[in-house]
Amino acid sequence: MSNLKQVVVLAITILNCFPASHEHKTPRLSLLRGGIRKKLENKSTAISKGFTTYLYDQTLDHFNYNPQSYTTFKQRYDLNFKHWGGSQKNAPIFAYLGDEAALGRHPRVGFMTENAPRFRALQVYIEHRFYGESNPLGSMKKSLENTTIRGYFNSAQALADYAEILIYLKRKFSAHHSPVIVVGASYGGQLAAWFRLKYPHVAHGALASSAPILYFDNITPHDAYFVAVSKDFREVSESCYRTIQKSWSEIDKIASKPHGLAFLSSKFNSCRKLRDSDELKDFLIEAFASTAQYNAPPTYPVTQVCGGIDGAPKGTDILGRIIFGIYEHPDNKKCHDIHDNPLDETEQGWNWLSCSEMVMPLAHGYHTMFPPSNFSLSKWSKDCRHSFGVEPRPHWITTYYGGQDIKLVLKKFASNIIFTNGLRDPYSRGGVLQNISDSLVAVVTTNGSHCLDLGPSQPDDPEWLVTQRKAVFGILEGWIKEYYGTRNATHKVAL
């Protein structure tokens, strides 16, 4: 299967974040899944050696002292001491903050494994509560059905988990003066930035890759994500862009005719008959969005999709061109699962986060290649009440972490955060794209995609990607040198 088709398959099988009743299926932030996971992880056997998994007795509720709060659960974390310079030399600690997915069997992030030897760093990977092995009741389904337990499933509790484990590790290994750099990708990148803001005494710095911390509370225009997706396609091919733009009305026109849904089901070789035209349109919207979000070199999936659309045989109709764009073998008799599938634990968990605090409003708008559709908080709330019996809190993220007037506010008190973004990533529109201060730094590339910078280096990496990673390395190196210099000076004065 080509890289392009892996991306499209992800969109087809995994990207359904909400049940079918939801008007807007927010593209999930994480890239640690499926074929995308393989791009981020360094698959070197040598590098994978030396990792050991541990379980920590984690506090269920860090912010209360009721009897329930003293309940604990097992939280997974992985360590690799292979390159660590040791506590006597105050060698640094790199901590990867898990996002909305299980760590997986081999959670090796290329940026971490490649730079650990250069910094002589201890590598720590911490799984996000409620995912994988770190679930209080053993499964996501059971925990979400328990209305008391699921209340402890939120970002603030997760950050406190990370702080508790990191402080425990520093105490356990007598690494009291080892500087900690937290690293995160996507939602994990948001967590990394927020961790540095909330726990500056634990983390000396943070690397937040593709972290849309400004996609909340109307800070970013609702249609910014899909405007960026459309821009990615239009820059590759105007005719491809126009074909996609025309396809939605064509789908509706055919669907409105007698036996129209049966015709569309047959044309797209759906495994079962489509229930309505929205089902097919949702499928295609997610496919195109995912393709743009992960539009990475060397294949650049958007270019491949447009190559299929523009390169279809002469006389092919609009929908036929769409099929040539998204399917590797359009004539393959194997049916395609266009429909909503049972949600895995990652999607179930993201549903809950989206219905509680992670309210990121997305709309198609009128300046995109997609059918216009506004974001409706009332519809979102109705769906969340149906799914969980709760009202979302759309203003809580900015209340707790900030976001409004971020340049003015963070400049006053924040430091040592690197925000990396690639402008081909639609979520970059909700990211920090300009330096706020000397130590609140934006490292941006024109051609980068979602969290690409954290992936392992490849021989065919473009020069701009190599330069981006070098820039991040240089900033981290400067922070750690500054830390040692300040500590040595302080230590001498104390003596």
What DSSP assignment string belongs to 278-294?
HHHHHHHHHHHHHHHHT
Separation of alpha carbons 160 and 421, rounded Å: 26
Separation of alpha carbons 52 and 132, rounded Å: 16
Nearest by Cα to 251 from 285, 292, 223, 294: 285
Helix, coil or strand: residue 192: helix
CA 309 remoteness from chain centre: 28
Helix, coil or strand: residue 416: coil
Question: Are the C-beta atoms of 101 and 73 separated by less than 8 Å?
Answer: no
- Identify the bridge partners of residue 209 per DSSP, sorted by sequence position: 185, 420
Question: Are the C-beta atoms of 292 and 29 separated by less than 8 Å?
Answer: no
Separation of alpha carbons 156 and 351, rounded Å: 17
CA 30 remoteness from chain centre: 3
Separation of alpha carbons 137 and 377, rounded Å: 31
How many other C-beta atoms are found inside a 10 Å radius of the C-beta of residue 452? 28
Question: Are the C-beta atoms of 483 and 121 separated by less than 8 Å?
Answer: no
- Identify the bridge partners of residue 418 per DSSP, sorted by sequence position: 207, 441
H or E, element range at 412: helix 406-413
Question: Who contacts 484 (Cβ-Cβ below 8 Å, separation ≥6)?
Answer: 90, 179
Catalytic residue numbers, as ranges: 186, 425, 450
Q: What angle do CA 382, 383, 388 make, to 5 degrees?
A: 105
Nearest by Cα to 481 from 92, 83, 94, 122: 92
**Amino acid letter, 301:** P
Question: Are the C-beta atoms of 292 and 229 separated by less than 8 Å?
Answer: yes
H or E, element range at 184: strand 180-185
CA 80 remoteness from chain centre: 24
